[in-house]
Structure 1
Amino acid sequence: MTAQTRITTLPQLAGRPFVSDGGMETWLIFHESIELRDFAAFELLATRDGRATLERWYRRHAEIAAAHGAGFIYETPTWRANRDWGARLGYDRAALRAINRDSVAFVSGIRDALAAETGQQGVVSGCIGPRGDGYIPGDRMASAEAAAYHSPQVEAFADAGADMVSAMTLSYAAEAAGIAHAATAAGISCALSFTVETDGRLPSGETLREAIEAVDAETGGAAAYYMINCAHPTHFAETLSEEGAWKTRIRGIRANASRMSHAELEASETLDDGDPEDLGARYKDLHALLPALAVVGGCCGTDHRHVEAVARACL
């Protein structure tokens, strides 16, 4: 099966709404009192209790989606399961490959069980995080270097049978382009999600439009779609008022609960979980600006309450 065939058959691009989960890592830390080393939720896969906690998380969100007649996207808990972060945590490349493959099997099992129970359509997405911090571009890679860096994780997801990969919290265009190249080489669909600062620009200084158009120009539009994550709607709504074909490429939103900046969130020792109903209302406004919006979920500080409010407002 070719990469293009897989891209055009993603169900979230066929007119049916899809929901994803909320901010898994902040929920685990602040609500479940689980210590996550470097936000590495994948380490919970190593224990029975950890798996039970993750399954409870996925099921609760998938059931919200089902209640609103929507499909659900199962993002693997692997945002930190790439080479540099893995090495920092003590995992070599072989161990990371096994973790990434196991994560696909784990969420696929939950997806299949719920499909048998409810008939709900589910998409398994291998979640990729940035090489760097996420909020700070740091040492930027050219797209070729980014493709080489992210290829092992992308290939592990493809080999394990994931339906797609999603790269979250990207802070500059070249890394996104590299991931798109890696996905094309592996024959798997990809969604690319940028984060923005309070001024609506990527941490690199690029505008959303500039980043999306640059990646599409370099890769021939290889990404199935783009998303925005890890920012509050007030940070980017004004940016989306600009007209242009580039907006039709944005098909997903996973916003933060808090209006705080990235720097403020990094410094905060308490969770700002905002107002779920207000967040839902803001998603409804975003939907009016993004007619192609097909996937809604949450990021830092959000949980089932926020996802429920968003689903109710949008669906």
Structure 2
Amino acid sequence: MFGCLLGGALGDALGHAAGSSGSAEVRHAFGPDGTGTLSGVAGPVPFSAATQMTLYTLDGLLEALEWANAGVGADETACLWLAYLRWLKTQGVSPDPGAPNPPLRWIDAQPVLHQRRAPGNTSLSGLSGPDMGTKFRPVNPDSKESGTVTRSAPFGLLPYVEPGMVYRLSEDAASLTHGHPSARHSAAVFSALIHDLLSPAASLQQAAEAAVLRAAESGVPELSARMAAAIELARSGPVSPEELTAALGEGRVAEEALARGLYAALATSGAGSPQEHFRAAVALAVHHDGAAGSTGSVTGNILGTLYGAAALPGDWLAVLEGRDLIEELARQFVAATGA
């Protein structure tokens, strides 16, 4: 739980910094190959909208769990829609007058979440109408922007839930903003991958192979092709940014962000200790000209789940923005699930 959320935030923050002209200090300290230290950087290093929406995903699930623990049934997807509407307000956007006006929760008072950090246009527009998007009443049906994937790790953190339910919840939540099949199924495959990695006996390679099978069963050709290509390319180990982009795309759309994030985790699996693996994988994920924050976030979620928070570099965590917020929300989620 803690490793997944903090790992994803680290990957997102470093990727966000790598692609930001205003973060020269971070890029210099992180180094051209990602092997540097951030201990000398004056923090906090900010994360992007990817982590903001991940935390709101967690809070939407948390609200559904709180209702369930009180003996009241709640629609999980509706709770997530309300959570995302609350996130929309933090971005300075007023929801449609016909949309619900959900009561504020603890997370909404956190100043760090009221920063506009490159939110995806599809997420903003998908939440700006009066109605909740669904698979059967899609909003933004042509968009497969990567935001569905980067916010979907929390579904995989639900304990005592079958993988099929994790997949369905994630796909339904993706439909709130993105109607394209690849946006929905890429998110669901990612959530199921995180769920597979929760077991203490989990194997990254086996979880990756299961993800490839789910992608093939999704009926989305580009998702299946990118996932298969990620597994194949990882056998070569780290490759140049140019070769990576040629094989897996820039990571700006859902299936590319997922494939690139998984590739980075797999290609660096021989790096040594868990912390060395995490450093090498995130470095590989964010050093390219595409959507570095998206791929860094996915890689960080994957290895943070696999290894736990102990594998996260202490010098990176020390300058991470909002660490206390992430840890507190994780504690609330663990308490609600009884895990």
Normalised TM-score (structure 1): 0.39
Q: Greater relative contact order (Cα 8 A, min sep 6): structure 1 or 2? A: 2
- Structure having the larger proportion of residues in helix: 2
Q: TM-score normalised to the size of structure 2?
A: 0.37
Structure (1 or 2) with the greater strand fraction: 1
